[in-house]
Structure 1
Amino acid sequence: MEFKHIVQGGLRQLSLWIVDGWYSDVHVEGASNVPKTGPLILAATHHNEIVDVAVLSARIPHERPIGYWAKSSMFKHPFTKFWMENSGALSVTRNPNYVETSNASTSDTSSNGGLFKDTVKALSQGQVIGIFPEGTSYTLPAIAQVLPGAARAAIEYARSVRREKLEGMKSDRERQIYLNGVGRHGEVTGLRIVPVGIVYEDKERYMSRVCVGFGEPIDVDKYTQELFQEGISHVDAAKCVVKKLNAELERRLLALTVNAPDWGTFYAAQMAMKILWGDEENVPLETWVKIMQSLVDMFSSDPKLDSVRKALVRYHALLYYTGIDHAILEEVLPLSPTSANLTYPLLWDTFAKIAVGFPVALAQFFAFLPAFFFHVPGYITALSAVRMLSGPGEAETKAEYGAAGGGIGIGLTVLVSLVWLMRRLMTFGKLILGRALPCNLSMQELQKYNIRPPPSVNVFIKNDQSSAVRATKRPPPITPHKLVQEMLLARLQAHISLGNYMRHSDSKETTFLLSQGGRVPFVVA
């Protein structure tokens, strides 16, 4: 066995440990779209750094080894270069958009000449090439860009196959007969581009879930016939084919993922899903993407939903700033129709429920302490990796280091119930503090916490919401318990607004959501 195969096998096993150690479930859709043999390009979305590589490597059908395009900086150090090359990775030179010049495309083509040569060589050997056509990992509410790298690689391979066919012929006459006959529109390559949508339920949260969708393959041979048409230059023909191929790839990637016009719409859809199903965990993974996109479409298309959208966004933001999870809050302090009046004093009712439940949860926590000490290394490695290696607002980087650190520290032996108990205890504590130490903030002060701050800007994204993100100021830090009262009121408003709309709506989105198990919240204003 070649050393390269040993390295690839070892990295795949490491990927399995990381993915299975950090995520509770990874659902694969469209596995039959991945051929068992032959040249293949996997064009995947890229929203979670190196974790995307781990997920794709761990869940590719037929366990085919993947040679990834990787940023050139990972090849600079001799040690990392050795492992990258032996894993089948290919070096990509990229430029952030803030240093682009008029000759940027020419520069990029020349600097990546070796990349396309190596890619063609790998494809000619029937290998799988993994490409992230967005060009970088980022956190935005929609796919921001699909660069033409995968399409260009396919074109270069088609040209190479035809060129090799011609070079293997012994005479000019034989070549001429071929060009006027079966080779007129190029050689059959058998190359497929399979779009892959990797969608994370919550990439920063431990034991969340992942959807991996392998889309319908794109038959490259149906596009490359235009490359060799007479009366058009090779350069113009290539540009035209790359544009068409890339547009089709983008269309299919969008269909496999969740895409919202802005963060407000995305947050509203996310919060609505949690309310309608009680918890995202109750939404079947096989329909999670469709349900989330239906909610996005609903909030994007109906102007009547503006007030509902604002209520959901505000509740989502206050949950974020208080550090409380909706599902845990619903368990600790259920919202019933009889207590839905906004003027109803929740203080003693809430405190009574907390007082009854806290000792029980505390006893359960101590019962799990032996198992907790066994898993301490995993929590330490995950938290240490996040704190030391990620910056503020870098959601995908936090998820990357957390998954790697937690996966290595814990491995496959996880105790989900312990994590749940710890989070419930923390929720109890925050609610107690919020009730015992109420804090009255002015409307002006509260408005600063009405929407969650967007993630950091990625300089490699060409057409993102960079200006809006840069203009957004993060509110000053606040002790979570100071927002507990407002968070509980926001929960009431969100349930009332969403429930009233769902009961009176007959839109296709509402019909679909209810058919998939969504439950209209029953609350009375």
Structure 2
Amino acid sequence: MASKTSDSHDIFVLHRVIRFLSGLASSTFFTDVRVVGGQDIPNTGPMIVAATHHNMMLDPVILSSQFPNQRILHYWSKATLFANPIMKYILLSSGNIPVDRKSKDRQKLFKGTFEALSQGCGVALFPEGTSYTEPRIMQVKDGAAWAALEYTKWAQENPDKVSPRAKGKGVVIVPAAIVYTNKSKYRSRVVIEFGKPITMDAYREQFFSDVEGAPRAAVKRLTHEIEKSLVQATVNAPDWDTLYTARMARDILWEKEESIDLNEYVVVLQTLVDLFSTTDVTPNFTSVRRALLEYYSLLQSTSLTNSVLHALPLPRDLDPKNPTPLPSRLLTLLIFIRDSVSTLARLPFFFLPLIIHLPVYVMGRIGARMVEDEEETQATNKVAFGLLSMFLIYPASFFFLWALLWYSTTGALVAAGTVYLFAVYHNRIINGGSLLFCGVGLDALVSLDLIVVFLRSVPLSMSLTNDRVLSFCLYRDPIASTVLSPRALYAYR
């Protein structure tokens, strides 16, 4: 490892290739990946990145592809994987560090980490230990703190082993909070916020102390500081009901997800979480919370969204306390025809991209169904299966166009440019909401569901009755008027 990182001719080719593909995958799956902070992150010198871990392989994908200044990050891998020479080269060239997790000797456990840090490299860890789906950060283990403080001690005892690039530069820990607006949804958004680098100055003396228990106490203090930084930059709710309530209130206040600036996304959602965690905030707190939870459950059970229902032409004075007659069959039919015509008018603009990318959608769906019970794995499978499909579709499209242009040099340039522009067009038209297979005509589809219900033929779902369909429409405005306004939310925060 040491010789690898010290060789100036080794530029970690595999790591750079993987990082490029990771960036391509993340930009294809997510609409926007926003980086907040990071201006204080050093360009050189030993560094440990302590990141949240709530979305399996997509977390290192996002972290590596979006890290400031494109610094190469090294990740821990099982030491046994390095036994094979070929596998060893692949792992080292892609930036992995061998770690013997069974060793109780920390100097041996962190040997590869020390060698990387001593060359002025960056090491990325996930101190939560595993990827999971919970309403808050459940734990932050001591691994990152031990690695940083043990390296500080090792570098002081072995100054001859520290390269000039790391000489005189103490290791810092950079907290990195990765927050997904919907981590398993295609074309959702991501915000990654980097906290202020944590130096070892405040912990060095206690860690070097000979007093029994002092080193462990220093590690615990450092871990607490890491956890504090990660919690401040993420959304943390006491339970799922509170988080669901906050999400529903957010969707009512901001009908479109993109209406919230990603720079303010965590602040907005955490403010709502705090609001619904305080029982005495309003006299009708219990009833509002219950209404929001029921509305959220109804939407989840029918795969509808508040933004779709809000787009329906409903009276603004609806009140769930007052009986409201169902819309007439003629009115419902006219709404359906209007939305269908509007959808069909836009369909030709997406028909070709739909046909070309159909295998990507199908394979992504298959990948997600393989892990339906593991939300944090669904996005990983969608990206992996979809990316593999794209690697088949785009080259095939290129060679097909190139063949039509007689395999000429100009033809190759034209074919490559056409495929690139086609991919950009595909993403733009998805973001514009003109997708039939993955969302286009959603209003029309909802209208179809409603007309089916109103005509009392086939129910929308096994558990959805006419009254419950109408309740979707009735919940929207009264709840929106009950919850605090966006301006009041910022004042509350």
Superposed pair shares fold, TM > 0.5: yes
Give the match for residue 359 of structure 1. Answer: 341
Deviations 1:156-186 (A, max 9, x none): 1011111114999xxxxxxxxxxxxxxxxxx
Q: Is 1:121 matched up with 2:103?
A: no
Partner SS state of residue 128, structure 2: coil
Partner SS state of residue 194, structure 1: strand
Partner SS state of residue 142, structure 1: coil
Give the match for residue 292 of structure 1. Answer: 269
Q: Is 1:436 matched up with 2:430?
A: no
Q: CA deviation at 1:428?
A: 3.4
For residues 98-247 of structure 1, what are the structure 2 equivalents within 5 Å?
A: 109-110=104-105, 114-165=108-159, 189-230=169-210, 232-233=211-212, 236-247=213-224
Question: With structure 1 as the length reference, what TM-score do the two structures score?
Answer: 0.76
Give the match for residue 359 of structure 2. Answer: 377
Q: CA deviation at 1:74?
A: 7.4
Counterpart amino acid of 1:313? L
Give the match for residue 32 of structure 2. Answer: 25
C-alpha separation in 2, matches of 1:318 and 1:72: 49
C-alpha separation in 2, matches of 1:74 and 1:261: 39
Pick closer, same or farther for the CA change 1:308–1:72 going to 2, 3 Å.
Answer: farther
Given that residues 247 and 269 in structure 2 are in contact (C-alpha distance below 8 angstroms), is that contact kept between their aligned partners in structure 1? yes
Counterpart amino acid of 1:382? G
For residues 300-449 of structure 1, what are the structure 2 equivalents within 5 Å?
A: 300-303=277-280, 304=282, 305-331=285-311, 333-340=312-319, 342-348=322-328, 349-388=331-370, 390=371, 392-410=372-390, 413=424, 414=427, 415-416=429-430, 417-418=434-435, 419-421=438-440, 423-437=442-456
Q: CA deviation at 1:155?
A: 1.3
Match for residue 67 of structure 2 among 49, 55, 60: 60
C-alpha separation in 2, matches of 1:75 and 1:320: 46
Q: CA deviation at 1:366?
A: 4.2
Partner SS state of residue 337, structure 1: coil
For residues 469-508 of structure 1, what are the structure 2 equivalents within 5 Å?
A: 479=461, 482=464, 485-493=467-475, 495-502=477-484
Q: CA deviation at 1:321?
A: 1.1
Pick closer, same or farther for the CA change 1:65–1:270 going to 2, 3 Å.
Answer: same
Counterpart amino acid of 1:196? A
Match for residue 274 of structure 1 among 248, 251, 268: 251
Q: CA deviation at 1:68?
A: 1.3
Given that residues 309 and 473 in structure 2 are in contact (C-alpha distance below 8 angstroms), is that contact kept between their aligned partners in structure 1? no
Counterpart amino acid of 1:9? R
C-alpha separation in 2, matches of 1:408 and 1:328: 32
Pick closer, same or farther for the CA change 1:189–1:223 going to 2, 3 Å.
Answer: farther
Given that residues 46 and 138 in structure 1 are in contact (C-alpha distance below 8 angstroms), is that contact kept between their aligned partners in structure 2? yes
Given that residues 18 and 408 in structure 1 are in contact (C-alpha distance below 8 angstroms), is that contact kept between their aligned partners in structure 2? no
Pick closer, same or farther for the CA change 1:196–1:511 going to 2, 3 Å.
Answer: same
Given that residues 202 and 208 in structure 1 are in contact (C-alpha distance below 8 angstroms), is that contact kept between their aligned partners in structure 2? yes
Q: CA deviation at 1:308?
A: 1.1
C-alpha separation in 1, matches of 2:456 and 2:218: 65
Q: CA deviation at 1:188?
A: 6.0
Question: With structure 2 as the length reference, what TM-score do the two structures score?
Answer: 0.80
Given that residues 322 and 480 in structure 1 are in contact (C-alpha distance below 8 angstroms), is that contact kept between their aligned partners in structure 2? no
Q: CA deviation at 1:316?
A: 1.1
Given that residues 137 and 396 in structure 1 are in contact (C-alpha distance below 8 angstroms), is that contact kept between their aligned partners in structure 2? yes
Q: CA deviation at 1:432?
A: 2.9
Given that residues 272 and 489 in structure 2 are in contact (C-alpha distance below 8 angstroms), is that contact kept between their aligned partners in structure 1? no
Q: CA deviation at 1:355?
A: 3.2
Q: CA deviation at 1:28?
A: 0.6
Pick closer, same or farther for the CA change 1:79–1:257 going to 2, 3 Å.
Answer: farther
Q: CA deviation at 1:75?
A: 7.0
Deviations 1:221-258 (A, max 9, x none): 3211212235x14xx22201100000000000000100
Partner SS state of residue 258, structure 1: coil
C-alpha separation in 1, matches of 2:121 and 2:332: 60
C-alpha separation in 2, matches of 1:338 and 1:495: 8
C-alpha separation in 2, matches of 1:84 and 1:434: 57
Counterpart amino acid of 2:317? T
Pick closer, same or farther for the CA change 1:271–1:149 going to 2, 3 Å.
Answer: same
Deviations 1:400-430 (A, max 9, x none): 1112333454585423132331544443333
Pick closer, same or farther for the CA change 1:498–1:88 going to 2, 3 Å.
Answer: same
Q: CA deviation at 1:483?
A: 5.2
Q: CA deviation at 1:71?
A: 6.3
Counterpart amino acid of 1:379? Y
C-alpha separation in 1, matches of 2:104 and 2:11: 28
Q: Is 1:48 matched up with 2:43?
A: no
Q: CA deviation at 1:479?
A: 2.9
Counterpart amino acid of 2:124? G
Give the match for residue 415 of structure 2. Answer: none
Pick closer, same or farther for the CA change 1:188–1:395 going to 2, 3 Å.
Answer: same
Partner SS state of residue 482, structure 1: coil
Q: CA deviation at 1:88?
A: 1.7
C-alpha separation in 1, matches of 2:318 and 2:334: 14
Counterpart amino acid of 2:449? K
Pick closer, same or farther for the CA change 1:89–1:335 going to 2, 3 Å.
Answer: farther
Match for residue 234 of structure 2 among 244, 257, 263: 257
Pick closer, same or farther for the CA change 1:431–1:247 going to 2, 3 Å.
Answer: same
Q: CA deviation at 1:314?
A: 1.3
C-alpha separation in 1, matches of 2:92 and 2:175: 24
C-alpha separation in 2, matches of 1:253 and 1:229: 28
C-alpha separation in 2, matches of 1:91 and 1:434: 60
The Cα RMSD (Å) is 3.1
Q: Unpaired segments of 5 or more residues in structure 1?
A: 95-106, 169-186, 441-477, 504-508, 517-525
Q: CA deviation at 1:93?
A: 6.8
Q: Unpaired segments of 5 or more residues in structure 2?
A: 1-7, 392-422
C-alpha separation in 2, matches of 1:425 and 1:405: 30
**Corresponding residue pairs, total:** 437
Q: CA deviation at 1:86?
A: 2.6
For residues 452-467 of structure 1, what are the structure 2 equivalents within 5 Å?
A: none
Partner SS state of residue 56, structure 1: helix
Q: CA deviation at 1:113?
A: 5.9
Counterpart amino acid of 1:355? I
Identity of aligned residues (%): 34
Deviations 1:271-323 (A, max 9, x none): 11111011221111110110000000000013442221111111111111101
Given that residues 128 and 141 in structure 2 are in contact (C-alpha distance below 8 angstroms), is that contact kept between their aligned partners in structure 1? yes
